[in-house]
Structure formats: C-alpha cells, structure tokens
Structure 1
Amino acid sequence: MFLSRLTVDVTSRNFRLDYADVHQMHRTVMSAFPDLDVQRTARQHCGALWRLDEHERGFVLLVQSRLEPKWAALPADYLAAPPDVRSLDPFLRLIAPGRKIGFRLVGNPTRAIHPPDSVSGNRGRGKPVPQRLPAKQVEWLARKGEQHGFVLPVGRDGQADVAPAPRPSLHGRTDGNKITIEPVRFDGHLVPTDVEALRAAVLGGIGRAKAYGCGLISLGPAREAG
C-alpha cells in the first residue's frame, strides 16, 4: 500500500476548480492511475482513498492506494512541492490488540430516515441524512468501531477520547445529479479489538462517500495528554 502526501498550490486554478466540485477532485485523484477507467469500480480496484487536510499554508492532499500512483499526470501548477510517496506499512504495524493508537478520520456520519408509511420489517435502508449533533456523531463512530475492530477509550473527562469537528460541506455533480456531503473530522484515540478487522478498515475505508474525500483513517502513535 502507498500513502501520498501532496502539498497543494492554493493559487492553482485547477485546484480551485477541484475544490469547488468534489466529483472533479475525485477525477483528479484517479488521474494518477491512467491505466484504469475513471469509475468507482476503478477506485475500489486500486484501493484509492483521499482526504484534504488543512495546514499552515493551505492544504495537503493525502491519497492512499493499493497501486503506485503516477502524479506526473497532475497539471503543472497543481503542487507546491514534489509528491511525497511512501509505504503504508509502518502505520499498519501500529495495530496491535489493546494498544492505544492516535487517529484522524474524516467521515460522513449519517442516519437513515424512513417514509412515515413504511412498514416495519420491510423498510429497506432508508434515506441517509447527516448526523449534526456531536454526541450522535461520536455514537456513529463507536458503532463503526464495533464493525471494524476497535473501541474508543475514555478520556480524562469520562467521555470517549475523540473530538468531532464539522468540515465545510462538499458539493459537486455527477451524471446530472447533485452531490452534497457534510463531513466530520474525528481526532482522538482508538484501541484495537480485532487486528484483522481494523487493518481491513484502514485499507478499505470507513463509512459512506469514500470516493469523495471521506473514509480514510490515518493512524499514528498515541499523543501525550496535555
């Protein structure tokens, strides 16, 4: 697995166009894999996940992939520094049962809304709508942990050791359909309960909107309490 760190040139016209249309950003990310057709199945085939993180001078685009990317395909004005591409293996080696690990995830917490006339037991998945309350966002992440082999440890305040923060809404269009996503960034700690399940979640992403900047979970050493 590869992890690319791309320092974006915020003056780039091409980046600004991508920033305004999350589907176009997805296409730009997938341009690093020129031998694949730019479709969602291609994203899954190469294991591509991406996330746009702010830093002191603008943005860093993180891209994780199973195939080695070819960033020479980017427009000449897109990056402010050469791409930094490295192996994901050192981060995967952090995963051990019971070990406290720092993490960051931009997720798409949602809940299902069913029509009032739907029949119990035959309701389907329902329409996903954003979870906007921080407590509900943490509950969403805790449920994902149950599915993906981790728990959220308790912090000094007696609450789950994670801080949810809303990110700017993502907008775009694909095939004439409007895209609107309300992402949430989670920073905190987790403790693995199932090494293989958590490893699969790191490789495959967590939650919805994986093609559109959500789902990539970054792992790192546990941070000292301040």
Structure 2
Amino acid sequence: MYLTRFRFNAARTGARRLLTSPQMLHAAVMSSFPEAPPTPDGGPRVLWRIDYNSAAEVLLYVTSPARPDLTHLVEQAGWPTAEPQGWSTYDYATFLTGLSADSVWAFRLTANPVHSIRRKEGEPTKRTAHRTPRYQIEWLLKQQDRGGFAIVEKAPEARRLERGDEYELAVGGARGLSFSKKSSSTGKDSSAAAGRNAVRIAAVTYQGRLRVTEPEVFRLRLASGLGKAKAYGCGLMTLAPVV
C-alpha cells in the first residue's frame, strides 16, 4: 500500500476543472496506474480525498495498492517546471503494520454519511444523506465497532449538553456534489438519460481523535475505506500523531 500527496495549482484552468468534477478527478486518479487496479468488495482499493486547507493550498491524497505516477496531473493541474516531481509517495504498508492496540491518533475523514429510508409501506428503501451534524456524528459512531477504532471521549468537565459533544470530534465542510454519468456507448448524456444517470453526493469532513481497538480490522478499514461514494472522493481516513 502507498499514500500519495499532490498539491493543486488552483490558479490553473485544469485544476479548477478537475476540482469541480468528481467524475473527471476519479478518472484522473485511476489513470495514475499503468494497469487498472482491482476494486475488491471489502479489500484494499484506490481511495482519494481533496483537502481544502486554504484558497492556495488544495491537496489531493491517494491511498493505493500500487505506486501511482501523477505526471499527467502535474502537467494539467500542478507546477510542471517546479522541483521536486510535484507529488510525494510514501510506504503506507509499513505505517499500517505499525499500528497497535490502544494507540491514539488525530484523524481526518471525508465521508458520505447516508442511511436507507422507506417513505411509505411497500415502497423500496431509498438511500438518503444525513444532513445535520447530530446524525452525521451518529453515522460515524456506528462505524466504530466494525472499523476497529473508537472515537476518544472528552473529559466530563469539557463537555457541553449537545448530543455528540462528549467526543473529541468535529464535523463540517459539507459539500453537495452533483454530476451526470456519461453514457458508455456515446460518451454523452441525452436529456432523457441525464436525469436517470444523475449522481448526487453529500460529503462532510470529520476531524478528531480516535483510539485503535482492533489493529487488524482497522488496517483493513483504512485500506478499503469507510462508507459509500468511495470512487468520488469519500471514505479515505488519514492519521497524524497527536500533538
């Protein structure tokens, strides 16, 4: 496994085009590999995430089973003449192997918190996004047991009365993503097909602290992602030492 970081040159037209289209950015990320990486159900896969740290610092993070080559992204949306090559790739497998039970980490995650609802009896269930921080937090808390981690709880004196404030956790950066999948036969959408092919994603960013409870389970979750919409910039959790 590898972890790669790439910085966009947000002043370039190519960068702005990619950043406004999850579908185009997904295609650009997947083009970083000479052979198409597998996307096994529940196993390690290619994940990516955009971090908007400031107007001038927009970062792409990618985790992948194979080492990527982002030359095309540098040419379209980076600094082609700058040194070094324009991206950094790290040995992620060694980091994952070193994760131990009860270790505490700061984390960042962009995810698509959804649930299935049925508006009336007999109707099929429909996947719907959680829109409020309370339910977005509850969604992440439900991922803990099967994810091999636990969100760190605050000391009692540091808590307020709101639901969710008992945890070292913040949720924000909500973004609505909407686009139409292109037809595989023509590469375009007809007006009739556009509605049927529309993709709408509600992405939010979580930041906080967690404790590793089951290292093997947690390693697999980091490599395979959390939640839905993994192809469109959701599901990638990254860790940093607690300062």
C-alpha distance in 2 between matches for 1:154 and 1:46? 29
Partner of 2:172: 165
Partner of 2:186: none
Flag the 1:197–1:41 CA change in 2: closer, same or farther, 3 A: closer
Instruction: Give the counterpart letter for 1:206 in structure 2.
Output: L
Unmatched 5+ residue regions in structure 1?
Answer: none
**Count of residues in correspondence between the two structures:** 216
Contact kept? 1:31, 1:74, Cα under 8 Å: no
1:140 maps onto 2:175 in alignment? no
More displaced, 203-212 or 70-79? Answer: 70-79
Partner of 1:8: 8
Contact kept? 2:43, 2:224, Cα under 8 Å: no
Shift in Å at residue 53 of structure 1? Answer: 0.5
Deviation string for 1:163-189 (max 9, x for gaps)?
011332222221341121111111001
RMSD of aligned Cα (Å): 2.4
C-alpha distance in 1 between matches for 2:219 and 2:27? 26
Flag the 1:71–1:173 CA change in 2: closer, same or farther, 3 A: same
Report the 3-state secondary structure (helix = DSSP H, G, I; strand = E; otherwise coil) of the residue aligned with 1:167. strand
Deviation string for 1:73-96 (max 9, x for gaps)?
336141135111111145425522
TM-score by length of 2: 0.81
Report the 3-state secondary structure (helix = DSSP H, G, I; strand = E; otherwise coil) of the residue aligned with 1:85. strand
C-alpha distance in 1 between matches for 2:176 and 2:132? 15
Partner of 2:118: 114
Report the 3-state secondary structure (helix = DSSP H, G, I; strand = E; otherwise coil) of the residue aligned with 1:16. helix
Percent identical residues = 28
Shift in Å at residue 218 of structure 1? Answer: 0.3
TM-score by length of 1: 0.86
Partner of 2:59: 60
Flag the 1:45–1:103 CA change in 2: closer, same or farther, 3 A: closer
1:21 maps onto 2:18 in alignment? no
1:206 maps onto 2:205 in alignment? no
User: Where do 1:65-76 residues align within 5 Å?
Assistant: 65-74=64-73, 76=75
Flag the 1:75–1:161 CA change in 2: closer, same or farther, 3 A: closer
Instruction: Give the counterpart letter for 1:170 in structure 2.
Output: L
C-alpha distance in 2 between matches for 1:87 and 1:196? 18
C-alpha distance in 2 between matches for 1:95 and 1:41? 24
C-alpha distance in 2 between matches for 1:75 and 1:60? 12
Q: Which of 83, 89, 93 pairs up with 2:87?
A: 83
Shift in Å at residue 46 of structure 1? Answer: 7.4
